[in-house]
A and B are shown apart, each in its own frame.
Chain A
């Protein structure tokens, strides 16, 4: 019986549920015996000149081994990661003369004991001379306060149209335009960043990192240290969530590695939550000016998306996000004319990076919120407006004018299923009754139809490696280039290998994340794992069976074409004669049995879906409560529904949290206001309902599994749906828009203003 598409429970769970995972801080590897503990002195100011560092008191404190500044480590600043970034905007490992955000690491402190580090960090005396600062991206775009005076501007890069087309909206009966904020949110993986470094006797460095992509971390750290990649070995312990922010290397990782080399001792580092919330890359942070023109009967004729991206203090992946946002601007619609333009600017804030969806949620949010504004303007139901503009079902790739190349899709069907499952007409009827009665608690219904891009390569090709080895005891090892941190690859990849070979799932071990073992792996991000890494495992398994067939044929003195696989016994046998057989294990006993392969995808895939959110809004207090979330998320063929649903649930909550709660904030003095979990509104189980999942699976033709990515879709669909629902709940009171997060105060204020 095939395991494909079945709810296999996870093989990784017994360990995680009993002795717990081995996250970086849990490592008890003998090589780390006697490791020093690293801590950072961080800037309390948004923008300042570093006048002096006095380490004397810290150095005299118990257990302090070293206090290191940028000059001590002699690390160069990293050049901008993209060729179109302003070349003057380089990233220091430790701040030198200038700090550019509150939380920036300035001094590294090494102690014998973790408790001593916190004492010692407080004893380092850094004198700062405050500089004018700018934390708001709109203000930064005016170039009045410059972060990098030598750059002459705060603009990192631009994308899209140089000149706007004056005539874009000619012939439109209705044009709506609005600035829509996609606020900055914290990644807030439950495990923050952590690492451990051991300088080996041969000059090599072993680095355990909480990462989503070991090879990229290896490349980044080695490059920064001026070493060849082979000089650094990255090993990935269990990782407590990443959501995009654990790709590559951060300054702290490089300081960890450099410090270990500097003192010639193992060093370990675990950030606190207070550090995590100011110094780990954050997400989103766009202001999108959306203009939509069309006819009164609901046909959109032209769409303009003008993106302002806050890159934070140092341009990293965040500055590049608009490339994805503008690419996905065409969304699921047939808009005849689309124009996009984008600009990324630096601000005195935490650096922006990838966060679950990275650039695509922003595109979806802009158009989905914008379409509701358009619908409100012409007085048409938002579902109907969407229907009138959706791209019809297609089976051959569909190219968009903004550079998308959608593989397969059926957007009208996704919308219909979501509406049907939600009981849309009944919901609208209930809403009408409540409005008529003038209830204190009104309800809102919000929609989102989305398409997104998954498995997009960061390099030249969309590919992933896999290796499978069978051992003489009948067990097998799968080595994968992906890097699970909750996604369940140990289970899913074992299912795939089992499906092809018959080797029992419980006998298959999946290894990942060690650059010595898997030097050419890529990692897990951009919802790429199953469609590339999983397919590679399937391909390796098929190749393994083929290799075994050849060997079995020789051994059993038969023609390879007469050898068949007996999955029940994990054996190869001569067709029609079950006694003439040899198991994989027996073949492995004779000579090593394994294959290594790489799957190259023809390109990224484009999952899609439709969400309906239902919220209750207390119109007297402005508080919104998410009552229902109904979701169609079509990611092609599903390998393991349990895992797939889990990815969706997590995404829904994160997406809803952005619409309702989350926002990273600074006060008027440039101080972070949300640097702990007491102040950053991470939502708990009480703020979300159980979710309602609707199935739909339109396979891709780009891989043998028919699978697209599901890791980020939930987040992409839910934010606009929930946001639209909140606005819809008070639309009858005259409210057209409320920026996210739709806090009670904002909703209440919007109601007051509309009444005026």
Chain B
């Protein structure tokens, strides 16, 4: 299948991308790795008139330790996240989770920023950055602003990044030696999660248990109060409203959330 016609433009900096977005307005879409956007265009679920390619902007692709955080350029590819020594040392959850995204070919193209802004509730990385409590640096016509993880994911495939804005950087706190784990439940290895759970340093996030990735706050509270993994996990599905699809109904998803949370907590405590 083939996308509807569009104009292809290449941005050479974040600011250039913002300019182009301003110029073309709602007609335009940013293109990073294209691993979510191009399938959408091929199935003709969207037909932007202009694509602004940011995948080759050199200063959007980097990983560097910056104080208590690691700063990651939005156009950093999954592969580079997986292989980053800094991340493996400072935030081991993130490269581990990036390794679950799609398959090797997809990780050779897809980017951290693309995955986060695409904001599929079933995706891996949104869940991971939520558990990590990342901060997002967003650039728009009036300059840069910072968004907390808790504010970033706003709805089904919706984030705090406006149509005239670009995500430029993701800042993840260094978790160092804190316990962490990721439990992804799939039928086939390169599928999106039916349910997934990321746990790090007493924080727990769930994928595909609602319209956005969600923090399992009841579980986190129980943990903070000294509950065992099994006890804390019992409330993992509290306050969630997962979809029903051909893989799982609501009750089963809730059950999976509890089982996976318990397993993640056991591993993280490990």
Within 8 Å of chain A (Cβ to Cβ): is B228? no
Chain A, residues 670-710, CB within 8 Å of chain B (1/0): the string is 00011010110111101100000000000000000000000
Known contacts A661-B187, A661-B188, A687-B188: A673-B1 contact under CB 8 Å:
no
Chain A: CB-nearest residue to B47: A122
* Cβ-defined contact, A115 with B2, below 8 A: yes
* Cβ-defined contact, B185 with A621, below 8 A: yes
Question: In the assembled complex, which residues on chain B have CB atoms less than 8 Å from the CB atom of A679?
Answer: 246
* Cβ-defined contact, A745 with B1, below 8 A: no
* Cβ-defined contact, B246 with A620, below 8 A: no
* Cβ-defined contact, B5 with A119, below 8 A: yes
Q: Which of A114, A665, A745 has the most CB of B within 10 A?
A: A745
How far does the Cβ of A69 sit from chain B's closest Cβ, in whole Å? 23
How far does the Cβ of A689 sit from chain B's closest Cβ, in whole Å? 14
Question: In the assembled complex, which residues on chain B have CB atoms less than 8 Å from the CB atom of A274?
Answer: 1, 43
* Cβ-defined contact, B259 with A119, below 8 A: no
Known contacts A621-B185, A687-B188: A745-B249 contact under CB 8 Å:
yes
Question: Once the chains are docked, how many angstroms separate the CA of A665 from the CA of B245?
Answer: 11
Question: Once the chains are docked, how many angstroms separate the CA of A678 from the CA of B120?
Answer: 14
* Cβ-defined contact, A673 with B246, below 8 A: yes
Known contacts A119-B4, A673-B246: A743-B255 contact under CB 8 Å:
no
Partner of B190, one of A114, A665, A673, A684: A684
Question: In the assembled complex, which residues on chain A have CB atoms less than 8 Å from the CB atom of B194?
Answer: 744
Question: In the assembled complex, which residues on chain A have CB atoms less than 8 Å from the CB atom of B190?
Answer: 684, 686
* Cβ-defined contact, A665 with B4, below 8 A: no
Within 8 Å of chain A (Cβ to Cβ): is B241? no
How far does the Cβ of A724 sit from chain B's closest Cβ, in whole Å? 20
* Cβ-defined contact, A621 with B256, below 8 A: yes
Question: In the assembled complex, which residues on chain A have CB atoms less than 8 Å from the CB atom of B256?
Answer: 621
Question: In the assembled complex, which residues on chain B have CB atoms less than 8 Å from the CB atom of A674?
Answer: 246
* Cβ-defined contact, B188 with A683, below 8 A: yes
Partner of B189, one of A118, A119, A684: A684
Known contacts A119-B4, A745-B248: A620-B189 contact under CB 8 Å:
no
Within 8 Å of chain B (Cβ to Cβ): is A450? no
Within 8 Å of chain B (Cβ to Cβ): is A749? yes
* Cβ-defined contact, A686 with B189, below 8 A: yes
Question: In the assembled complex, which residues on chain B have CB atoms less than 8 Å from the CB atom of A682?
Answer: 188
Chain B, residues 180-204, CB within 8 Å of chain A (1/0): the string is 0000010111100010000000000
Known contacts A684-B190, A745-B248, A748-B255: A623-B185 contact under CB 8 Å:
yes
Question: In the assembled complex, which residues on chain A have CB atoms less than 8 Å from the CB atom of B249?
Answer: 745
Question: Once the chains are docked, how many angstroms separate the CA of A274 from the CA of B42?
Answer: 11
Within 8 Å of chain B (Cβ to Cβ): is A272? yes
Partner of A665, one of B5, B246, B248, B260: B246
Question: In the assembled complex, which residues on chain A have CB atoms less than 8 Å from the CB atom of B39?
Answer: 678
Chain B: CB-nearest residue to A118: B2
| Residues 1-34 of B at the A interface (beta carbon under 8 Å) | 1-2, 4-5
Chain B, residues 232-267, CB within 8 Å of chain A (1/0): the string is 000000000000001111001001100110000000
Within 8 Å of chain A (Cβ to Cβ): is B44? yes
Count class of interface residues, chain B: 20 to 34
Question: In the assembled complex, which residues on chain A have CB atoms less than 8 Å from the CB atom of B246?
Answer: 665, 673-674, 679
* Cβ-defined contact, A122 with B189, below 8 A: no
Chain B: CB-nearest residue to A678: B39
Chain A, residues 725-756, CB within 8 Å of chain B (1/0): the string is 00000000000000000011100110000000
* Cβ-defined contact, A743 with B1, below 8 A: no
Known contacts A119-B5, A272-B1, A274-B1: A749-B252 contact under CB 8 Å:
yes
Question: Once the chains are docked, how many angstroms separate the CA of A665 from the CA of B246?
Answer: 9
Question: Once the chains are docked, how many angstroms separate the CA of A330 from the CA of B39?
Answer: 48
Question: In the assembled complex, which residues on chain A have CB atoms less than 8 Å from the CB atom of B187?
Answer: 623, 661, 681, 743-744
Known contacts A115-B2, A274-B43, A673-B246: A687-B255 contact under CB 8 Å:
no
Chain B, residues 108-136, CB within 8 Å of chain A (1/0): the string is 00000000000000000000000000000
Chain A, residues 614-656, CB within 8 Å of chain B (1/0): the string is 0000001101000000000000000000000000000000000
Chain B: CB-nearest residue to A119: B4
* Cβ-defined contact, A122 with B1, below 8 A: no
Chain B: CB-nearest residue to A667: B246
Question: Once the chains are docked, how many angstroms separate the CA of A623 from the CA of B260?
Answer: 13
How far does the Cβ of A538 sit from chain B's closest Cβ, in whole Å? 43
Chain A contact surface mostly: loop
Chain B: CB-nearest residue to A624: B187
Chain B, residues 150-187, CB within 8 Å of chain A (1/0): the string is 00000000000000000000000000000000000101
Question: In the assembled complex, which residues on chain B have CB atoms less than 8 Å from the CB atom of A665?
Answer: 246
How far does the Cβ of A400 sit from chain B's closest Cβ, in whole Å? 39
Question: In the assembled complex, which residues on chain A have CB atoms less than 8 Å from the CB atom of B4?
Answer: 119
Question: In the assembled complex, which residues on chain A have CB atoms less than 8 Å from the CB atom of B248?
Answer: 744-745
Question: Once the chains are docked, how many angstroms separate the CA of A115 from the CA of B4?
Answer: 9
Question: Once the chains are docked, how many angstroms separate the CA of A683 from the CA of B190?
Answer: 10
* Cβ-defined contact, B1 with A748, below 8 A: no
* Cβ-defined contact, B188 with A686, below 8 A: yes
Question: Once the chains are docked, how many angstroms separate the CA of A661 from the CA of B191?
Answer: 13
Question: Once the chains are docked, how many angstroms separate the CA of A682 from the CA of B43?
Answer: 19
* Cβ-defined contact, B252 with A681, below 8 A: no
How far does the Cβ of B170 sit from chain A's closest Cβ, in whole Å? 26
Question: Once the chains are docked, how many angstroms separate the CA of A687 from the CA of B188?
Answer: 7
Question: In the assembled complex, which residues on chain B have CB atoms less than 8 Å from the CB atom of A673?
Answer: 246
Question: In the assembled complex, which residues on chain A have CB atoms less than 8 Å from the CB atom of B188?
Answer: 661, 681-684, 686-687
Question: In the assembled complex, which residues on chain B have CB atoms less than 8 Å from the CB atom of A681?
Answer: 187-188
Question: In the assembled complex, which residues on chain A have CB atoms less than 8 Å from the CB atom of B189?
Answer: 684, 686-687
How far does the Cβ of A666 sit from chain B's closest Cβ, in whole Å? 10
Question: Once the chains are docked, how many angstroms separate the CA of A686 from the CA of B185?
Answer: 14
Question: In the assembled complex, which residues on chain B have CB atoms less than 8 Å from the CB atom of A743?
Answer: 187, 247
Question: Once the chains are docked, how many angstroms separate the CA of A679 from the CA of B252?
Answer: 19
Question: Once the chains are docked, how many angstroms separate the CA of A744 from the CA of B256?
Answer: 10
Question: In the assembled complex, which residues on chain B have CB atoms less than 8 Å from the CB atom of A749?
Answer: 252
* Cβ-defined contact, B247 with A745, below 8 A: yes
* Cβ-defined contact, A620 with B2, below 8 A: no
Question: Once the chains are docked, how many angstroms separate the CA of A678 from the CA of B2?
Answer: 17
Question: Once the chains are docked, how many angstroms separate the CA of A724 from the CA of B264?
Answer: 31
| Residues 39-87 of B at the A interface (beta carbon under 8 Å) | 39, 43-44
Question: Once the chains are docked, how many angstroms separate the CA of A745 from the CA of B252?
Answer: 7
Question: In the assembled complex, which residues on chain B have CB atoms less than 8 Å from the CB atom of A272?
Answer: 1
Question: Once the chains are docked, how many angstroms separate the CA of A676 from the CA of B44?
Answer: 14
Question: Once the chains are docked, how many angstroms separate the CA of A569 from the CA of B255?
Answer: 73
| Residues 249-289 of A at the B interface (beta carbon under 8 Å) | 272, 274
Q: Which of A661, A674, A676, A748 has the most CB of B within 10 A?
A: A748
Question: Once the chains are docked, how many angstroms separate the CA of A119 from the CA of B6?
Answer: 12
How far does the Cβ of A611 sit from chain B's closest Cβ, in whole Å? 22
Question: Once the chains are docked, how many angstroms separate the CA of A681 from the CA of B249?
Answer: 18
Question: Once the chains are docked, how many angstroms separate the CA of A684 from the CA of B185?
Answer: 16
How far does the Cβ of B195 sit from chain A's closest Cβ, in whole Å? 9
Chain A: CB-nearest residue to B192: A678
Question: Once the chains are docked, how many angstroms separate the CA of A114 from the CA of B1?
Answer: 10
How far does the Cβ of B263 sit from chain A's closest Cβ, in whole Å? 9
Question: Once the chains are docked, how many angstroms separate the CA of A661 from the CA of B1?
Answer: 26
How far does the Cβ of B192 sit from chain A's closest Cβ, in whole Å? 9
How far does the Cβ of A684 sit from chain B's closest Cβ, in whole Å? 6
How far does the Cβ of B179 sit from chain A's closest Cβ, in whole Å? 21
Question: Once the chains are docked, how many angstroms separate the CA of A156 from the CA of B187?
Answer: 36
Chain B: CB-nearest residue to A683: B188
Q: A272-B1, A661-B187, A686-B188 are in contact. List 15 more A-B contacts (CB 8 A).
A: A621-B185, A621-B260, A623-B187, A678-B39, A681-B187, A681-B188, A683-B188, A684-B189, A684-B190, A687-B189, A744-B185, A744-B194, A744-B248, A745-B249, A745-B252
26 contacting pairs across A/B (C-beta < 8 A): A115-B2, A118-B1, A118-B44, A119-B4, A122-B44, A272-B1, A620-B259, A621-B256, A621-B260, A623-B185, A673-B246, A674-B246, A678-B39, A679-B246, A681-B187, A681-B188, A682-B188, A683-B188, A684-B190, A687-B188, A687-B189, A743-B187, A744-B187, A744-B247, A744-B252, A749-B252
Q: Which 10 A-B pairs have the closest CB atoms?
A: A686-B189, A745-B252, A620-B259, A118-B2, A115-B2, A272-B1, A745-B248, A673-B246, A665-B246, A621-B259
